[in-house]
Structure 1
Amino acid sequence: MANSRFPKFGYGRSAVFAKGRMKAGMLNKTEQNYKEYLEQERQCGRVIAYWFEAIKLKIAEGTCWYNPDFLVLRPNGDLELHEVKGCPRLFADDAKVKTKACATLYPFRMFVVFPRSKANGGGWEYQEY
């Protein structure tokens, strides 16, 4: 039975939304793959250190906070925030607003990271905010 909330063109809940949240401090499969990539970058010297869910940034008064997936330290001393998503469609509007607000309020370079398909050479695609 089709759900009327979604179009009939093969876009079911699993194609549009992430499958669920992990417990705090636990990495999903995409985040684990990105962590392994960051470790390779650290071993090559392009990253000094990285931390998973290391900081929580206040976006607005009250209960609006942003917890980026990775805090990354580059060799030049720059700190970057990396938000890892499985695909651009999973980067929901509320997450975009928080990402843009964080990029405006704090002195960090802010990146949203998506895995590239193997057909497109694999690796990671970055969007800076």
Structure 2
Amino acid sequence: MSTFLLEIVTPERLVYSEQVNGIVVRGLEGDLGILPGHIPMVTPLRIAPVFVKTGSQRLPVAVNGGFVEVRKDKVVILAESAEFPQDIDVERARAARERAETRLRSQDKQDHIDHRRAEIALQKAMNRLNVTQNR
């Protein structure tokens, strides 16, 4: 079975660097499956899980925005943050979700910047919780 090198990089560190059989990412236009031999491209990513396929395993990674760059010999995900299920503090993610929901409910709709920040915080918390449900 063919493979390619997948690197997941955040501003802080190289999170993942392994040979994989394929990945599924969520771009702005929807889900995108990438297999060996995929055409080169760059696309922005939504706050959503990335699924990494190695052999018979399907590993979810909570990726919070960024870009995916598909090259001839490897795929690089440049992410704001990326976390594996075992690295996520579920209670902290639940608390972040509750804080964001409270801010969205109680907020003055005139303050668009704070409203948008609360929406993004909620998306990130939900992404983390969704990834941990598969552990």
Instruction: Give the alignment's TM-score, normalised by structure 2.
Output: 0.22
Instruction: Give the alignment's TM-score, normalised by structure 1.
Output: 0.23
